[in-house]
Chain A
Amino acid sequence: MIALLLRDLRLAIRAGGGFGLGLAFFLIVVVLVPFGVGPETELLSRIAPGILWVASLLAALLSLDRIFALDYEDGSLALLATSPLPLEGAAMVKALAHWITTGLPLTLAAPALGFLLSLAPEAYAYLLVSLMIGTPALSMIGTFGAALTVGLRRGGLLLSLLVLPLYVPTLIFGAEAVRRGAEGLDPTGALMLMAGITAGSFALLPFATAAVLRINLR
Protein backbone atom coordinates (compact mmCIF):
# COMPACT_ATOMS: atom_id res chain seq x y z
CA MET A 1 0.00 0.00 0.00
CA ILE A 2 2.78 2.38 0.91
CA ALA A 3 4.66 1.49 -2.27
CA LEU A 4 1.57 2.26 -4.32
CA LEU A 5 1.07 5.53 -2.48
CA LEU A 6 4.68 6.58 -3.07
CA ARG A 7 4.44 5.60 -6.72
CA ASP A 8 1.30 7.68 -7.23
CA LEU A 9 2.80 10.66 -5.44
CA ARG A 10 5.99 10.43 -7.48
CA LEU A 11 4.00 10.21 -10.70
CA ALA A 12 1.87 13.20 -9.74
CA ILE A 13 4.90 15.33 -8.94
CA ARG A 14 7.17 14.32 -11.79
CA ALA A 15 4.65 13.96 -14.59
CA GLY A 16 3.79 17.62 -14.17
CA GLY A 17 0.40 19.23 -14.53
CA GLY A 18 -1.59 17.58 -11.78
CA PHE A 19 0.24 18.90 -8.77
CA GLY A 20 0.44 22.63 -9.45
CA LEU A 21 -2.50 22.84 -11.78
CA GLY A 22 -5.17 22.42 -9.14
CA LEU A 23 -3.56 25.09 -6.98
CA ALA A 24 -3.29 27.51 -9.89
CA PHE A 25 -6.92 26.88 -10.79
CA PHE A 26 -7.93 27.52 -7.18
CA LEU A 27 -6.03 30.80 -7.22
CA ILE A 28 -7.60 31.91 -10.51
CA VAL A 29 -11.17 31.13 -9.43
CA VAL A 30 -10.69 33.07 -6.21
CA VAL A 31 -9.13 36.00 -8.05
CA LEU A 32 -11.91 36.04 -10.63
CA VAL A 33 -14.68 36.38 -8.05
CA PRO A 34 -13.94 40.00 -7.05
CA PHE A 35 -13.93 40.92 -10.75
CA GLY A 36 -17.37 39.38 -11.01
CA VAL A 37 -19.07 40.74 -7.90
CA GLY A 38 -17.17 43.98 -7.37
CA PRO A 39 -14.44 44.94 -4.92
CA GLU A 40 -16.51 45.89 -1.84
CA THR A 41 -14.66 44.39 1.09
CA GLU A 42 -17.79 43.90 3.12
CA LEU A 43 -19.56 41.83 0.47
CA LEU A 44 -16.40 39.84 -0.24
CA SER A 45 -15.80 39.00 3.37
CA ARG A 46 -19.39 37.81 3.66
CA ILE A 47 -19.21 35.44 0.69
CA ALA A 48 -15.56 34.42 1.22
CA PRO A 49 -16.29 31.11 3.05
CA GLY A 50 -18.57 29.92 0.27
CA ILE A 51 -16.23 31.04 -2.50
CA LEU A 52 -13.23 29.34 -0.93
CA TRP A 53 -15.15 26.10 -0.48
CA VAL A 54 -16.65 26.09 -3.97
CA ALA A 55 -13.29 26.94 -5.51
CA SER A 56 -11.48 24.15 -3.67
CA LEU A 57 -14.24 21.74 -4.68
CA LEU A 58 -13.82 22.67 -8.33
CA ALA A 59 -10.05 22.44 -8.07
CA ALA A 60 -10.36 18.95 -6.60
CA LEU A 61 -12.74 18.01 -9.40
CA LEU A 62 -10.27 19.14 -12.04
CA SER A 63 -7.74 16.42 -11.33
CA LEU A 64 -10.15 13.55 -10.70
CA ASP A 65 -10.02 11.95 -14.12
CA ARG A 66 -6.27 11.46 -13.76
CA ILE A 67 -6.74 9.12 -10.81
CA PHE A 68 -7.46 6.02 -12.87
CA ALA A 69 -7.34 7.08 -16.52
CA LEU A 70 -3.58 6.66 -17.09
CA ASP A 71 -3.41 3.41 -15.12
CA TYR A 72 -6.36 2.09 -17.09
CA GLU A 73 -4.78 2.92 -20.43
CA ASP A 74 -1.35 1.42 -19.79
CA GLY A 75 -2.76 -1.66 -18.06
CA SER A 76 -1.35 -1.12 -14.60
CA LEU A 77 -4.89 -1.01 -13.23
CA ALA A 78 -5.41 -4.60 -14.37
CA LEU A 79 -2.15 -5.51 -12.65
CA LEU A 80 -3.36 -3.79 -9.49
CA ALA A 81 -6.58 -5.79 -9.65
CA THR A 82 -4.64 -9.08 -9.75
CA SER A 83 -2.07 -8.07 -7.14
CA PRO A 84 -2.28 -9.46 -3.59
CA LEU A 85 -3.39 -6.03 -2.36
CA PRO A 86 -7.22 -6.00 -2.41
CA LEU A 87 -8.66 -3.56 -4.89
CA GLU A 88 -10.53 -1.86 -2.05
CA GLY A 89 -7.17 -0.99 -0.50
CA ALA A 90 -5.86 0.24 -3.82
CA ALA A 91 -8.92 2.48 -4.21
CA MET A 92 -8.34 3.97 -0.79
CA VAL A 93 -4.67 4.57 -1.51
CA LYS A 94 -5.56 6.25 -4.79
CA ALA A 95 -7.94 8.56 -2.95
CA LEU A 96 -5.28 9.29 -0.36
CA ALA A 97 -2.71 10.10 -3.04
CA HIS A 98 -5.22 12.42 -4.71
CA TRP A 99 -5.82 14.14 -1.40
CA ILE A 100 -2.11 14.62 -0.71
CA THR A 101 -1.55 16.09 -4.16
CA THR A 102 -4.63 18.34 -4.29
CA GLY A 103 -6.59 18.54 -1.03
CA LEU A 104 -3.63 19.13 1.24
CA PRO A 105 -2.01 21.91 -0.85
CA LEU A 106 -5.44 23.52 -1.27
CA THR A 107 -5.97 23.46 2.47
CA LEU A 108 -2.61 25.05 3.12
CA ALA A 109 -3.06 27.69 0.44
CA ALA A 110 -6.63 28.59 1.40
CA PRO A 111 -5.78 31.00 4.27
CA ALA A 112 -3.57 33.04 1.92
CA LEU A 113 -6.45 33.31 -0.52
CA GLY A 114 -8.84 34.06 2.31
CA PHE A 115 -6.69 37.13 2.85
CA LEU A 116 -7.39 38.21 -0.74
CA LEU A 117 -11.14 37.94 -0.07
CA SER A 118 -10.80 39.75 3.29
CA LEU A 119 -12.14 36.79 5.23
CA ALA A 120 -13.01 37.63 8.83
CA PRO A 121 -9.93 37.07 11.04
CA GLU A 122 -11.76 34.67 13.38
CA ALA A 123 -12.57 32.35 10.49
CA TYR A 124 -9.04 31.41 9.39
CA ALA A 125 -8.65 28.61 11.90
CA TYR A 126 -12.05 27.17 10.98
CA LEU A 127 -11.28 27.44 7.27
CA LEU A 128 -8.12 25.45 7.77
CA VAL A 129 -9.80 22.86 9.98
CA SER A 130 -12.88 22.46 7.83
CA LEU A 131 -10.86 22.01 4.64
CA MET A 132 -8.54 19.61 6.43
CA ILE A 133 -11.50 17.48 7.50
CA GLY A 134 -13.59 17.92 4.37
CA THR A 135 -11.21 17.57 1.43
CA PRO A 136 -10.45 13.86 2.09
CA ALA A 137 -14.17 13.21 1.57
CA LEU A 138 -13.99 15.12 -1.72
CA SER A 139 -11.07 12.93 -2.83
CA MET A 140 -12.76 9.67 -1.85
CA ILE A 141 -16.10 10.55 -3.48
CA GLY A 142 -14.21 11.74 -6.54
CA THR A 143 -12.27 8.50 -6.72
CA PHE A 144 -15.57 6.65 -6.84
CA GLY A 145 -16.74 8.92 -9.67
CA ALA A 146 -13.46 8.45 -11.52
CA ALA A 147 -13.81 4.68 -11.22
CA LEU A 148 -17.35 4.88 -12.65
CA THR A 149 -16.22 6.73 -15.76
CA VAL A 150 -12.81 5.14 -16.28
CA GLY A 151 -13.87 3.07 -19.27
CA LEU A 152 -15.38 6.00 -21.16
CA ARG A 153 -13.48 7.93 -23.76
CA ARG A 154 -14.98 11.31 -23.00
CA GLY A 155 -15.81 10.83 -19.36
CA GLY A 156 -14.72 14.24 -18.07
CA LEU A 157 -18.01 16.08 -18.34
CA LEU A 158 -20.02 13.08 -17.19
CA LEU A 159 -17.67 12.76 -14.23
CA SER A 160 -18.54 16.28 -13.08
CA LEU A 161 -22.25 15.62 -13.50
CA LEU A 162 -21.99 12.45 -11.40
CA VAL A 163 -19.68 13.76 -8.70
CA LEU A 164 -20.95 17.27 -8.05
CA PRO A 165 -24.32 16.25 -6.56
CA LEU A 166 -22.44 13.88 -4.27
CA TYR A 167 -20.35 16.82 -3.05
CA VAL A 168 -23.39 18.78 -1.85
CA PRO A 169 -23.46 17.64 1.81
CA THR A 170 -19.71 18.19 2.28
CA LEU A 171 -19.95 21.63 0.72
CA ILE A 172 -22.90 22.65 2.88
CA PHE A 173 -21.24 21.59 6.13
CA GLY A 174 -17.84 22.99 5.14
CA ALA A 175 -19.02 26.43 4.13
CA GLU A 176 -21.42 26.53 7.05
CA ALA A 177 -18.64 25.77 9.53
CA VAL A 178 -16.48 28.61 8.19
CA ARG A 179 -19.42 31.01 8.08
CA ARG A 180 -20.33 30.25 11.67
CA GLY A 181 -16.71 30.70 12.64
CA ALA A 182 -16.64 34.09 10.89
CA GLU A 183 -19.77 35.21 12.70
CA GLY A 184 -18.54 34.05 16.07
CA LEU A 185 -21.05 31.20 16.40
CA ASP A 186 -20.17 27.69 17.42
CA PRO A 187 -19.16 25.63 14.35
CA THR A 188 -18.51 22.28 16.08
CA GLY A 189 -21.83 20.79 14.93
CA ALA A 190 -21.06 21.36 11.26
CA LEU A 191 -17.47 20.20 11.69
CA MET A 192 -18.52 16.99 13.40
CA LEU A 193 -21.14 16.21 10.76
CA MET A 194 -18.54 16.80 8.07
CA ALA A 195 -16.07 14.55 9.85
CA GLY A 196 -18.84 11.96 9.87
CA ILE A 197 -19.22 12.24 6.11
CA THR A 198 -15.46 11.88 5.63
CA ALA A 199 -15.24 8.85 7.90
CA GLY A 200 -18.29 7.28 6.30
CA SER A 201 -16.94 7.85 2.79
CA PHE A 202 -13.63 6.23 3.64
CA ALA A 203 -15.39 3.32 5.32
CA LEU A 204 -17.87 2.52 2.56
CA LEU A 205 -16.86 4.04 -0.76
CA PRO A 206 -13.67 1.95 -1.26
CA PHE A 207 -15.95 -1.08 -1.59
CA ALA A 208 -18.18 0.65 -4.14
CA THR A 209 -15.10 1.92 -5.99
CA ALA A 210 -13.51 -1.52 -6.12
CA ALA A 211 -16.78 -3.09 -7.30
CA VAL A 212 -17.07 -0.52 -10.06
CA LEU A 213 -13.44 -1.00 -11.10
CA ARG A 214 -13.93 -4.77 -11.35
CA ILE A 215 -16.95 -4.21 -13.59
CA ASN A 216 -14.99 -1.82 -15.78
CA LEU A 217 -12.03 -4.20 -16.05
CA ARG A 218 -14.25 -7.13 -17.09
Chain B
Amino acid sequence: MSMWEYANPKLFMGWTRPVLPWMFASAGVCLVVGLVWGFFFTPDDFRQGSTVKIIYLHVPSALMAINAWIMMLVASLIWVVRRHHVSALAARAAAPVGVVFTLIALFTGGIWGQPMWGTYWAWDPRLTSFLILFLFYLGYIALWEAIEDPDTAADLTSVLCMVGSVFAILSRYAVLFWNQGLHQGASLSLDKEENISDVFWFPLLVCIAGFVLLFVALVLMRTRTEIRARRIRALEARARRA
Protein backbone atom coordinates (compact mmCIF):
# COMPACT_ATOMS: atom_id res chain seq x y z
CA MET B 1 0.00 0.00 0.00
CA SER B 2 1.50 3.30 -1.07
CA MET B 3 1.04 6.67 0.60
CA TRP B 4 -1.21 7.77 -2.26
CA GLU B 5 -3.98 5.47 -1.13
CA TYR B 6 -4.54 7.67 1.91
CA ALA B 7 -5.81 10.23 -0.58
CA ASN B 8 -8.73 8.00 -1.47
CA PRO B 9 -11.73 10.03 -0.22
CA LYS B 10 -13.17 7.18 1.80
CA LEU B 11 -9.87 6.31 3.45
CA PHE B 12 -9.19 10.02 3.95
CA MET B 13 -12.46 10.46 5.80
CA GLY B 14 -11.64 7.36 7.80
CA TRP B 15 -8.21 8.32 9.07
CA THR B 16 -8.92 12.01 9.57
CA ARG B 17 -11.87 11.46 11.86
CA PRO B 18 -9.93 10.01 14.82
CA VAL B 19 -6.90 12.22 14.11
CA LEU B 20 -8.73 15.56 13.99
CA PRO B 21 -9.69 15.97 17.68
CA TRP B 22 -6.10 15.19 18.67
CA MET B 23 -4.80 17.74 16.18
CA PHE B 24 -7.12 20.43 17.49
CA ALA B 25 -6.33 19.55 21.09
CA SER B 26 -2.58 19.67 20.59
CA ALA B 27 -2.88 22.91 18.59
CA GLY B 28 -4.91 24.40 21.44
CA VAL B 29 -2.43 23.24 24.07
CA CYS B 30 0.54 24.60 22.12
CA LEU B 31 -1.17 27.94 21.50
CA VAL B 32 -2.31 28.38 25.09
CA VAL B 33 1.06 27.39 26.53
CA GLY B 34 3.01 29.45 23.99
CA LEU B 35 0.86 32.57 24.25
CA VAL B 36 0.53 32.53 28.04
CA TRP B 37 4.24 31.86 28.40
CA GLY B 38 5.03 34.58 25.89
CA PHE B 39 2.63 37.19 27.23
CA PHE B 40 3.06 36.78 30.97
CA PHE B 41 6.32 34.98 31.69
CA THR B 42 8.85 36.72 29.46
CA PRO B 43 10.57 40.00 30.32
CA ASP B 44 9.87 43.19 28.36
CA ASP B 45 12.38 44.09 25.70
CA PHE B 46 14.57 46.94 26.88
CA ARG B 47 13.84 49.08 23.83
CA GLN B 48 10.46 47.88 22.62
CA GLY B 49 8.81 47.44 26.01
CA SER B 50 5.88 45.09 26.05
CA THR B 51 5.09 45.61 22.35
CA VAL B 52 7.64 42.91 21.58
CA LYS B 53 5.07 40.35 22.67
CA ILE B 54 3.07 40.72 19.49
CA ILE B 55 5.82 38.62 17.93
CA TYR B 56 4.04 35.53 19.24
CA LEU B 57 1.14 36.19 16.88
CA HIS B 58 2.89 38.05 14.08
CA VAL B 59 5.76 35.73 13.24
CA PRO B 60 3.84 32.41 13.28
CA SER B 61 0.94 33.79 11.24
CA ALA B 62 3.27 35.36 8.67
CA LEU B 63 5.16 32.10 8.44
CA MET B 64 1.98 30.11 7.94
CA ALA B 65 0.60 32.59 5.41
CA ILE B 66 3.52 31.74 3.13
CA ASN B 67 3.51 28.04 3.98
CA ALA B 68 -0.20 27.82 3.22
CA TRP B 69 0.48 29.07 -0.29
CA ILE B 70 3.32 26.57 -0.70
CA MET B 71 1.02 23.82 0.52
CA MET B 72 -1.58 24.92 -2.06
CA LEU B 73 1.11 24.83 -4.74
CA VAL B 74 2.11 21.28 -3.79
CA ALA B 75 -1.53 20.17 -3.64
CA SER B 76 -2.17 21.75 -7.05
CA LEU B 77 0.83 19.94 -8.52
CA ILE B 78 -0.40 16.63 -7.09
CA TRP B 79 -3.82 17.30 -8.59
CA VAL B 80 -2.39 18.11 -12.02
CA VAL B 81 -0.05 15.12 -12.05
CA ARG B 82 -2.02 12.42 -10.25
CA ARG B 83 -5.63 13.67 -10.35
CA HIS B 84 -6.39 13.04 -6.68
CA HIS B 85 -9.61 14.88 -5.93
CA VAL B 86 -8.80 15.17 -2.24
CA SER B 87 -5.64 17.06 -3.17
CA ALA B 88 -7.58 19.65 -5.18
CA LEU B 89 -10.09 20.01 -2.37
CA ALA B 90 -7.32 20.43 0.18
CA ALA B 91 -5.86 23.27 -1.90
CA ARG B 92 -9.27 24.86 -2.00
CA ALA B 93 -9.70 24.37 1.73
CA ALA B 94 -6.33 25.91 2.55
CA ALA B 95 -6.89 29.20 0.71
CA PRO B 96 -9.28 30.92 3.16
CA VAL B 97 -7.12 29.80 6.09
CA GLY B 98 -4.12 31.33 4.34
CA VAL B 99 -6.01 34.58 3.80
CA VAL B 100 -6.82 34.81 7.49
CA PHE B 101 -3.18 34.21 8.45
CA THR B 102 -2.11 36.88 5.97
CA LEU B 103 -4.58 39.34 7.48
CA ILE B 104 -3.47 38.53 11.02
CA ALA B 105 0.15 39.12 10.01
CA LEU B 106 -0.72 42.44 8.32
CA PHE B 107 -2.85 43.68 11.22
CA THR B 108 -0.55 42.67 14.05
CA GLY B 109 2.31 44.18 12.06
CA GLY B 110 0.39 47.45 11.80
CA ILE B 111 -0.47 47.46 15.49
CA TRP B 112 3.19 46.90 16.34
CA GLY B 113 4.37 49.38 13.73
CA GLN B 114 2.38 52.31 15.11
CA PRO B 115 4.32 52.70 18.39
CA MET B 116 7.63 51.43 16.97
CA TRP B 117 7.93 52.97 13.51
CA GLY B 118 5.36 55.72 14.09
CA THR B 119 3.15 54.44 11.29
CA TYR B 120 0.67 51.64 10.74
CA TRP B 121 1.73 51.12 7.20
CA ALA B 122 4.84 51.77 5.16
CA TRP B 123 5.56 50.73 1.60
CA ASP B 124 8.28 48.45 2.79
CA PRO B 125 9.23 45.42 0.64
CA ARG B 126 8.06 42.84 3.14
CA LEU B 127 4.81 44.61 3.86
CA THR B 128 4.14 45.23 0.19
CA SER B 129 4.83 41.67 -0.84
CA PHE B 130 2.46 40.46 1.86
CA LEU B 131 -0.24 42.73 0.51
CA ILE B 132 0.38 41.28 -2.95
CA LEU B 133 0.21 37.77 -1.51
CA PHE B 134 -3.16 38.73 -0.04
CA LEU B 135 -4.37 39.81 -3.50
CA PHE B 136 -3.19 36.50 -4.97
CA TYR B 137 -5.20 34.62 -2.35
CA LEU B 138 -8.28 36.70 -3.17
CA GLY B 139 -7.97 36.02 -6.91
CA TYR B 140 -7.46 32.31 -6.27
CA ILE B 141 -10.54 32.04 -4.06
CA ALA B 142 -12.62 34.14 -6.46
CA LEU B 143 -11.72 31.84 -9.34
CA TRP B 144 -12.76 28.78 -7.32
CA GLU B 145 -16.07 30.40 -6.51
CA ALA B 146 -16.75 31.55 -10.06
CA ILE B 147 -16.56 28.21 -11.86
CA GLU B 148 -19.37 25.72 -11.47
CA ASP B 149 -17.87 22.50 -12.80
CA PRO B 150 -15.62 21.22 -9.97
CA ASP B 151 -13.01 19.52 -12.17
CA THR B 152 -12.63 22.55 -14.44
CA ALA B 153 -12.35 24.77 -11.37
CA ALA B 154 -9.68 22.51 -9.88
CA ASP B 155 -7.69 22.51 -13.13
CA LEU B 156 -7.88 26.26 -13.68
CA THR B 157 -7.06 27.18 -10.11
CA SER B 158 -4.10 24.79 -10.15
CA VAL B 159 -2.63 26.53 -13.17
CA LEU B 160 -3.34 29.91 -11.57
CA CYS B 161 -1.63 28.77 -8.38
CA MET B 162 1.49 27.72 -10.30
CA VAL B 163 1.70 30.88 -12.42
CA GLY B 164 0.83 32.96 -9.36
CA SER B 165 3.67 31.40 -7.36
CA VAL B 166 6.20 32.45 -9.98
CA PHE B 167 4.83 35.98 -10.03
CA ALA B 168 4.59 36.17 -6.24
CA ILE B 169 8.30 35.37 -6.01
CA LEU B 170 9.02 37.89 -8.78
CA SER B 171 7.06 40.56 -6.92
CA ARG B 172 8.95 39.76 -3.76
CA TYR B 173 12.24 40.62 -5.43
CA ALA B 174 10.80 43.45 -7.51
CA VAL B 175 9.69 45.36 -4.40
CA LEU B 176 13.13 44.84 -2.91
CA PHE B 177 14.50 46.64 -5.93
CA TRP B 178 11.91 49.36 -5.59
CA ASN B 179 12.22 50.39 -1.99
CA GLN B 180 14.64 49.83 0.82
CA GLY B 181 13.17 48.19 3.87
CA LEU B 182 11.99 49.34 7.24
CA HIS B 183 11.15 45.81 8.36
CA GLN B 184 13.88 44.04 10.29
CA GLY B 185 15.60 41.03 8.78
CA ALA B 186 15.13 37.44 9.81
CA SER B 187 15.28 36.93 13.54
CA LEU B 188 14.85 33.17 13.54
CA SER B 189 17.44 31.81 11.12
CA LEU B 190 19.54 29.05 12.60
CA ASP B 191 22.98 30.28 11.62
CA LYS B 192 22.85 33.98 12.42
CA GLU B 193 24.36 35.93 15.27
CA GLU B 194 21.54 38.44 15.70
CA ASN B 195 18.82 35.93 16.55
CA ILE B 196 16.41 36.89 19.27
CA SER B 197 17.39 35.82 22.72
CA ASP B 198 16.40 32.40 24.06
CA VAL B 199 13.93 33.92 26.51
CA PHE B 200 11.69 34.91 23.58
CA TRP B 201 12.77 32.08 21.32
CA PHE B 202 11.31 29.07 23.19
CA PRO B 203 7.75 30.40 23.65
CA LEU B 204 7.88 31.54 20.03
CA LEU B 205 8.78 28.02 18.93
CA VAL B 206 5.81 26.66 20.86
CA CYS B 207 3.55 29.26 19.22
CA ILE B 208 4.83 28.34 15.76
CA ALA B 209 4.15 24.69 16.47
CA GLY B 210 0.66 25.66 17.60
CA PHE B 211 0.00 27.62 14.40
CA VAL B 212 1.26 24.75 12.23
CA LEU B 213 -0.97 22.26 14.03
CA LEU B 214 -3.91 24.65 13.85
CA PHE B 215 -3.38 25.12 10.13
CA VAL B 216 -3.20 21.38 9.44
CA ALA B 217 -6.25 20.73 11.59
CA LEU B 218 -8.28 23.48 9.91
CA VAL B 219 -7.29 22.31 6.43
CA LEU B 220 -8.20 18.70 7.24
CA MET B 221 -11.52 19.78 8.68
CA ARG B 222 -12.33 22.02 5.73
CA THR B 223 -11.30 19.27 3.32
CA ARG B 224 -13.70 16.91 5.06
CA THR B 225 -16.42 19.51 4.66
CA GLU B 226 -15.63 19.87 0.96
CA ILE B 227 -15.77 16.09 0.50
CA ARG B 228 -19.12 15.95 2.24
CA ALA B 229 -20.43 18.85 0.16
CA ARG B 230 -19.37 17.07 -2.99
CA ARG B 231 -21.03 13.83 -1.86
CA ILE B 232 -24.24 15.72 -1.20
CA ARG B 233 -24.06 17.25 -4.67
CA ALA B 234 -23.53 13.81 -6.20
CA LEU B 235 -26.48 12.38 -4.26
CA GLU B 236 -28.69 15.26 -5.32
CA ALA B 237 -27.70 14.80 -8.93
CA ARG B 238 -28.50 11.08 -8.68
CA ALA B 239 -31.86 11.83 -7.05
CA ARG B 240 -32.73 14.26 -9.81
CA ARG B 241 -31.94 11.71 -12.49
CA ALA B 242 -33.94 8.95 -10.82
Instruction: List residues of chain A with CB under 8 Å of any chain B CB.
Output: 144, 148-149, 151-152, 155, 158, 161-162, 164-166, 168-169, 172-173, 176, 189-190, 193, 197, 204-205, 208, 211-212, 215-216, 218
Structural contact, B143 and A158, CB atoms closer than 8 A:
yes
Tally chain B residues at the interface, Cβ within 8 Å. 25
Of all chain B residues, the one with the shortest Cβ separation from A170 is: B174
Partner of B159, one of A166, A173, A208: A208
Structural contact, A162 and B152, CB atoms closer than 8 A:
no
Structural contact, A162 and B177, CB atoms closer than 8 A:
no
Instruction: List chain B residues, Cβ under 8 A from A168.
Output: 132, 167, 171, 174-175
Structural contact, A215 and B155, CB atoms closer than 8 A:
yes
Structural contact, A169 and B170, CB atoms closer than 8 A:
yes
| CA gap between A189 and B163 in the complex, in Å | 24
Instruction: List chain B residues, Cβ under 8 A from A158.
Output: 139, 142-143, 146
Structural contact, A162 and B139, CB atoms closer than 8 A:
yes
Q: Fill in one digit per residue for B152-169: 1 if any A CB lies within 8 Å of its CB, else 0.
A: 100110011011101100
Structural contact, B152 and A208, CB atoms closer than 8 A:
no
Instruction: List chain A residues, Cβ under 8 A from B174.
Output: 168-169, 172-173, 193
11 contacts between A and B (CB under 8 A): A144-B163, A149-B143, A152-B146, A158-B146, A162-B139, A162-B160, A166-B164, A173-B174, A190-B177, A215-B152, A216-B156
Minimum CB–CB distance from A142 to chain B (whole Å) comes to 12
Q: With A148-B143, A152-B146 in contact, is A172–B175 under 8 Å at CB? A: yes
Instruction: List chain B residues, Cβ under 8 A from A148.
Output: 143, 156, 159-160
Of all chain B residues, the one with the shortest Cβ separation from A163 is: B139
Instruction: List chain B residues, Cβ under 8 A from A216.
Output: 152, 156
Instruction: List chain B residues, Cβ under 8 A from A169.
Output: 167, 170-171, 174
Q: Fill in one digit per residue for B132-143: 1 if any A CB lies within 8 Å of its CB, else 0.
A: 100110110011
| CA gap between A103 and B136 in the complex, in Å | 25
Instruction: List chain A residues, Cβ under 8 A from B166.
Output: 204
